[in-house]
Homo-oligomer: A and B are copies of this chain.
């Protein structure tokens, strides 16, 4: 479902009208939507179907649970039954829980959260490397790597090659500049507040999303040694290993790290 580069919109908006309206207005400029605990706790899992009715973009459920396999399996099953297109799990839960999620997710997207964007988070690079190894071994689609540590993104990219999609949060309000994570080797930048609550007061979320997309496009175009690989056609998805479908936006500048 995610085979290119661009923006995953972190729709951390609790009021339903605002949430859905913003999603509708920004959808032309983004590649996927991510909802997390804030929205899920406010509305329950039913919000998944409601969001899906308001956009054609894939919806990633950023649950990052810290639960045992028995609970994780029940939650993942529920997410899928409500129409979620993917989930993000905490790497720290370990291989058994991630593997159990993978079995249920089948060809749906499974991402592994590796490290926090904030300085005081207690996950070291070495610990995160262990989660990344698990993500590869268990054939997950990708990993989250914080945009607030761009060197980490480039190191992880060097380490995993094209094995994994890298999605990066911490863009905008948390300090990392729009485009910086993709410049460092990420596939997607997860952007929330900078879109749904733009710094420029006169800017709408749609305008902020369009502006962010243009910034990312410039970064992609300026990447050195950029070439369109043969594999970026709809018939031949980039992530053949994960078997994910190829039904969304394809940017000509895919895969240029």
A positions within 8 Å CB-CB of B: 12, 14, 36-38, 40-45, 63-71, 74-75, 78-79, 90-97, 113, 116-123, 127, 130-131, 173-174, 193
A165 to B70, CA, bound (A): 26
A63/B92 contact (C-beta < 8 A), A12-B71, A97-B118, A117-B68 known: no
Q: Which residues of B contact A90 (CB under 8 A)?
A: 66
A79 to B41, CA, bound (A): 9
Residue from A37, A68, A96 having most chain B Cβ neighbours under 10 A:
A37
Q: Across the two chains, which residue of chain B brings its CB closest to A124? A: B127
A70 to B69, CA, bound (A): 28
A93 to B193, CA, bound (A): 21
Q: Which residues of B contact A37 (CB under 8 A)?
A: 63, 65, 67, 71, 75
* Nearest-Cβ distance from residue A72 to partner chain B, whole angstroms: 9
Q: Which residues of B contact A122 (CB under 8 A)?
A: 91-94, 127, 130-131
Q: Which residues of B contact A70 (CB under 8 A)?
A: 173, 193
Given contacts A41-B45, A42-B45, 12 further A-B contacts (CB under 8 A): A12-B71, A12-B74, A14-B74, A37-B65, A38-B78, A68-B117, A92-B92, A93-B116, A94-B120, A97-B118, A122-B127, A122-B130
